[in-house]
Amino acid sequence: MESNRKIYFNMNESDISYVSQLFESYEGIGLLRTINTTTTHMCIYTNVWMVEKCLALMDNLVKKEGINIFNIHVEISSTVE
């Protein structure tokens, strides 16, 4: 079983810095990267044990902080670029 996961999503450009700093503060939960700055396509690199925590954090950002996170999908990966 592959243990790496990639969570792809889009968000508003104005929220990238805040969300990035938030994920950095949760050491070990996942690594946030911008895939495409024009389309604000983002990716969180995480593992099978933390993927649900990442998704829960993203859900809280949407519901409690009003951050627009959309087009979320999770992929199984054998590598982290």
* Whole-number Å distance between alpha carbons of 33 and 49: 19
pLDDT at 1: 55
Edge-first strand order for the sheet with 41-47 is: 31-36, 41-47, 4-11, 69-77
* Whole-number Å distance between alpha carbons of 14 and 80: 26
Q: Which residue has the tokens 């503060």?
A: 25
pLDDT at 78: 74
DSSP code, position 14: G
Backbone φ, ψ for residue 8 (5° rounding): -95, 145
* pLDDT tens, residue order, the chain (81 aa): 578 999 999 999 999 999 999 999 988 899 999 999 899 999 999 999 999 999 999 999 999 999 999 999 999 987 656
